[in-house]
Structure 1
């Protein structure tokens, strides 16, 4: 009898154990989801860019007997920029014109310490820039080659003690660094600083009276000059022509 009871007990225990075992191929698991690569929808890749120079704070080549360390001049909305872009380098063409009345120190023996007159400076440059990344905020660097024409005249300034015209032409090499920020797709704000290395030809005409008539005393000279633009240009840029369809 006891063998029968022992057999029944073993069968009951085996049944309980088999009831707790679940076949792995009968269990339902949630489907494995692999997250998709996040796409960047803020496109900054365009073929062309046009820009307006809205602000600049910069130096110009030396005037008359101006001491070293030329003063800085401020200008607004006086330049244009055009760029052709690719995946690596942007090629650029720009022009700027400064036209304003200025006053500066004039260091020479027997000269008055201050000179007042009108300064006109026109610069045209071609160059290339390289972006460090292609995100919404893009630091960049590059260099420009250009030509500058400058004229300073005291004509029409009755309070100017120096009666002269200063004409200067210059070949320029201008390395620069900058950064631009896309406010919305296609529209960006950019700011850059440059350092200018110039080979200049200067012709100064000094007149004996304020009428700018008669034969002037004339001075001509060639020289190397260096001047700085801590804010060479703040530009508002518009880009068009999608580079990567």
Structure 2
């Protein structure tokens, strides 16, 4: 009798399934970011005859920031406005040692920002170029018999460093500090009374100034427009 032989060494078996380790993908790659400046603690260009080392001023909810990301660096556009009563030292012969007045400062800046990492916590650095307009008026604040207006314009460059923490994929909190190098034009008008009707004693000057913002901005940032979608 003939025996039937069956070969079994060519039988196909399904590939084994190896469970993969779950990996959480925290996507922070967005084209656009808009941010609100919630808090700042900063210096401004010198007022009147302030001594070196201007006082720091604190402000809340007074600025906006918009960023466009090209997947390498971010381009920034921002604006901020400070408007409050302040008191500061004033060093000059015959001046009051303390001056109080209404102070307003408006700044516009454009710049670039580079993140050091692209994780949930992202340190970053960069620089802004900007223009600043500020005005101080001591009228109505009881500064004896002399009243003054201090108007100043400044072109500036502001290197900065910061860090942002993504709370969720689209929402982050940022904090940054900057150092400002400014070329300023100052015009001071001193009046003999608070009517401002008399001819002022006027002073004008150009100069370089340097001031620091240890907390240039605490921001709440919202990103949108996924780059890889």
What's the TM-score, normalizing by structure 1? 0.85
1:108 to 92, 95, 116: 92
Partners of 1:98 and 1:239 in 2: how far apart? Answer: 26
The answer to whether the 8 Å contact 2:96/2:143 transfers is no
Partners of 1:120 and 1:194 in 2: how far apart? Answer: 20
State the 1:210 CA deviation: 2.1
Partners of 2:203 and 2:17 in 1: how far apart? Answer: 81
Where in structure 2 are the equivalents of 1:137-148 lying within 5 Å?
137-148=121-132
Secondary structure class of the residue paired with 1:190: strand
State the 1:40 CA deviation: 3.8
Partners of 1:218 and 1:244 in 2: how far apart? Answer: 59
State the partner residue of 2:61.
Answer: 77
Partners of 1:211 and 1:37 in 2: how far apart? Answer: 77
State the partner residue of 1:204.
Answer: 188
State the partner residue of 1:182.
Answer: 166
Secondary structure class of the residue paired with 1:65: coil
State the partner residue of 2:151.
Answer: 167
**Larger Rg, first or second structure (1 or 2):** 1
Is the aligned partner of 1:90 residue 2:74?
Answer: yes
1:54 to 33, 38, 50: 38
State the 1:156 CA deviation: 2.0
Is the aligned partner of 1:238 residue 2:204?
Answer: no
State the 1:34 CA deviation: 5.7
1:128 to 106, 112, 120: 112
Query: Cα RMSD over matched residues?
Result: 1.8
**Structure 1, unaligned runs of 5 or more:** 1-24, 26-30
What's the TM-score, normalizing by structure 2? 0.90
Q: Normalized per residue, which structure has more helix? A: 1
